[in-house]
Amino acid sequence: MAVTEAFKEAIWLHGLIEDLGIVQKHIDVHCDSQSAICLAKNQLYHSRTKHIDVRFHFVREIVDEGDILVQKIGTADNPADMLTKCVSGIKFQHCLDLVNISRC
């Protein structure tokens, strides 16, 4: 699950930032999958989620503690699309603008 990997990276980066003397209350992780967000926030057991392994429960614990907040990001505003999908030139330029990179 991609959210688990994002959480692990966010926790590592949060520790690095704290070592540099910068204090943050929480970390925002943006996800474009509404179903992944609902599963991370909802503690109810569903028969369709019985195949999810222990890594998923790690995500739920972190969300419950409030250290990391999972937020929905729309497809139009997701800069990661330029790295994970085949996008048009216009969409690619929009993604570059979202991360403040100018093309030569």
Output the pLDDT for position 20: 94
Q: What is the model's pTM?
A: 0.69
What are the start-end ranges of the H helices in the chain? 2-19, 34-41, 54-65, 81-84, 89-98
Q: pLDDT tens digits for 18-66?
A: 999 998 888 888 888 887 787 777 766 555 655 566 666 778 888 888 8
Burial-class residue 8 by CB neighbours within 10 Å (0-12, 13-18, 19+): middle
Q: How wide is the angle at C-alpha 91 spanned by C-alphas 4 and 70, nearest 5°? A: 25
The structural domains of the chain, with segments of one domain joined by +, span: 2-73, 75-104
CA 78, chain centre distance (Å): 11
What is the spatial distance between Cα 15 and Cα 75, in angstroms, rounded to a whole number?
29
